[in-house]
Amino acid sequence: MKTRKLGPFEVSEIGLGCMSLSHAYGPPPPRAQAEAVLLGALDAGCTFFDTAAVYGLGHNERLVGEVLGPHRDRFVLASKCGLSRGEQRELNGRPEVLKATCEESLQRLGVDVIDLYYLHRWDRRVPIEESVGALSDLVAQGKIRSIGLSEVSAGTLRRAHAVHPITALQTEYSPWTRNPEVAVLDACRELGVAFVAFSPVGRGFLAGGVRELTRLDAGDFRVAMPRFQGEAFLRNLDLLDRFEAIAREAGCTPAQLCLAWLLQKDPTLIPIPGTTSPDHMREDMAASGVNLSDDVMAHLEATVNASTVAGPRYSPAMQASVDTERLPGEAEV
């Protein structure tokens, strides 16, 4: 596995997002299966693991801590604060809450320090300077090594970076979600902030994992996402057929096409796909060895983009919790 810079760290160019092992996509997998994903990723060369306090209401941090704890010196550990109560998605960015959440996360993870600690969402009731100031105190206390932000705009990133250097900014980025291209990617390059792409295979859709809505569990939060509903879903299925044809042209799987596209878009970008399947995990990690021609890159971007994907990425209620730039023509909520 090739590596990339993540602030003071050197990590595998593809990390592992651990959310789906505990949260959001239906019931968690059996413990043995979750362990196989985590340990298999480590064996495949992954050295960057991403979790959060909200995933499974602490379940994910405990899982990651218990399974990967004996190998702590082999990977960079990221977690998040500021978003709690599971599906209610309560935002709270008050300094005292962020500090208390960090103490709880340290205990669940079984570690003395977290390498990269994100503000999961910006709570607009609290100035970003105050929330980042609290995280800066945690750095000074040796409880976290660096600070990250998730789902914030370029302007908010700059305000935060003026308080304390930001190591990474994390948001959704894939061929079918292109909002970071508006301003955030440029701001990250300007400030020397690593960009971490979550949901890099379109929440499984671009990997061909959701061709029938009946496959989604009632507790799967994709059920509430406009791209997985009604006419938009049918239009996106037609788009998926064309996307899969490009993957065949490139000699890789659709998931690998997404990841290779991201890796070639920006040499400082780090995608963190997630999965509950050991086989899919190995497929994702193997994308590090996929090289796409200029023709394939151009064909992909002409086929899947903001103009061809049907439906916004979030419902209005979920979109209200993020601070990201809108694409031209995208409705404000």
CATH code: domain of residue 19: 3.20.20.100
Q: Is 25 a residue of the active site?
A: no
153 falls within a domain: yes
Residue 320 pLDDT exceeds 90: no
Q: What is the tens place of the pLDDT at every residue in 124-141?
A: 999 999 999 999 999 999
Domain housing 92 = 3-319
What token pair was written down for 242?
Answer: 């064309």
pTM: 0.95
Q: What are phi and psi of 186, to 5 degrees?
A: -65, -40
Spell out the residues 6+ positions from residue 48 whose beta carbon is closer than 8 angstroms to its own. 6, 9, 11, 12, 15, 16, 75, 76, 78, 270, 272
- pLDDT number for residue 69: 97
What token pair was written down for 92?
Answer: 């709270």
328 falls within a domain: no
171 falls within a domain: yes
* Candidate list 55, 118, 173, 314, residue with the active-site label: 55
Q: What is the tens place of the pLDDT at every residue in 152-177?
A: 999 999 999 999 999 999 999 999 99
324 falls within a domain: no
- pLDDT number for residue 86: 45
- When pLDDT is cut at 50, 70 and 90, the band that residue 89 belongs to is low
Q: How many domains does the chain have?
A: 1
Q: Output b/e per residue, 220-234; b: 16+ Cβ within 10 A.
A: bbbeebbbbbeebbe
- When pLDDT is cut at 50, 70 and 90, the band that residue 307 belongs to is very high
79 falls within a domain: yes
Name which residue leads in pLDDT, 280 or 217: 280
Average pLDDT, the chain: 94
Three-state SS for 332? Answer: coil
- pLDDT number for residue 173: 97
326 falls within a domain: no
- pLDDT number for residue 217: 85
- When pLDDT is cut at 50, 70 and 90, the band that residue 330 belongs to is low
**CA 191/CA 165 separation, integer angstroms:** 9
- When pLDDT is cut at 50, 70 and 90, the band that residue 90 belongs to is confident
199 falls within a domain: yes
**CA 254/CA 207 separation, integer angstroms:** 5
Residue 120 pLDDT exceeds 70: yes
Tell me which residue of 84, 99, 81, 93 sits closest to 125, measured CA to CA. Answer: 93
DSSP assignments along 135-182, one per residue:
HHHHHHTTSEEEEEEES--HHHHHHHHHHS---EEEEE-BTTB-GGGT
- pLDDT number for residue 329: 55
135 falls within a domain: yes
**CA 45/CA 313 separation, integer angstroms:** 31
Other CB atoms within a 10 A radius of the CB of residue 307 amount to 10
Spell out the residues 6+ positions from residue 298 whose beta carbon is closer than 8 angstroms to its own. none
